[in-house]
């Protein structure tokens, strides 16, 4: 389920089945040129959409959030999910805090090299999905 009206208008019907929030997060470094940010943010969102499509039914994909300024800092994940997966590039500090003490929060990191390779993209989606599936299976 994506954060778009067509999906969200069915929220009440689907809510019992959606137990996972996928939260793409991006650190906006002012020393990086705009075209590079566009490439990186676009890649991160394409990954998130591909993962959501493959795991459709249990996942709500939130819009990309970005952070400027100092790396790090804590932020709270939205409430009422059993699982939270924060998708980000390697090397970006992020300290998420779950609002529910029993919720499972995992950070999924991806490398930022060779972003235009379709083979690398497909493999990365496979690895991310397997990681999420293992988390789901480990908490039955």
- Please report how many Cα atoms fall inside a 13 Å half-sphere around the Cα of residue 36, on the Cβ side: 10
Q: What is the pLDDT of residues 5-22, one digit of tens each?
A: 777 777 788 888 889 999
Q: What is the mean pLDDT of the chain?
A: 85
Residue 134 backbone phi and psi in degrees, to 5 = -65, -40
Distance CA 128, CA 47 (A): 9
What pLDDT is stored for residue 65 in this prediction? 87
State the residue for tokens 């993962």. 51
Q: What is the pLDDT of residues 92-124, one digit of tens each?
A: 776 666 566 677 889 999 998 899 999 999 999
The domain total for the chain is 1
What pLDDT is stored for residue 2 in this prediction? 72
Tell me the average pLDDT across 56-72: 81
Determine the structural domain holding residue 17 and report its residue range. 5-138
What pLDDT is stored for residue 122 in this prediction? 97
Q: Judging by DSSP bridges, how do beta strands 65-68 and 83-89 pair with one another? A: unpaired
Buried b (16+ CB within 10 A) or exposed e, 94-119: bebebeeeebbbeebebeeeebeeee
Asked if pLDDT for residue 75 goes beyond 80, the answer is no
What pLDDT is stored for residue 50 in this prediction? 97
CATH number of the domain that residue 35 is part of: 3.40.50
């Amino acid at each position: 389920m994506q954060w778009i009206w067509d999906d969200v208008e069915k929220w009440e019907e689907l809510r019992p089945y959606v137990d996972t929030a996928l939260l793409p997060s991006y650190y906006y470094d002012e020393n990086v040129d705009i075209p590079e940010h566009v490439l990186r943010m676009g890649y991160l969102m394409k990954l998130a959409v591909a993962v959501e499509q493959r795991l459709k039914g249990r996942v709500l994909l939130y819009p990309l959030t970005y952070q400027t300024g100092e790396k790090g800092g804590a932020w709270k994940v939205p409430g009422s999910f059993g699982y939270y997966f924060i998708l980000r590039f390697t090397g970006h500090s992020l300290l998420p805090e779950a609002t529910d003490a029993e919720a499972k929060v995992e950070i999924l990191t991806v490398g930022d090299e060779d972003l235009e390779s379709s083979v690398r993209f497909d493999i990365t989606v496979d690895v991310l999905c397997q990681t999420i599936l293992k988390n789901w299976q480990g908490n039955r």
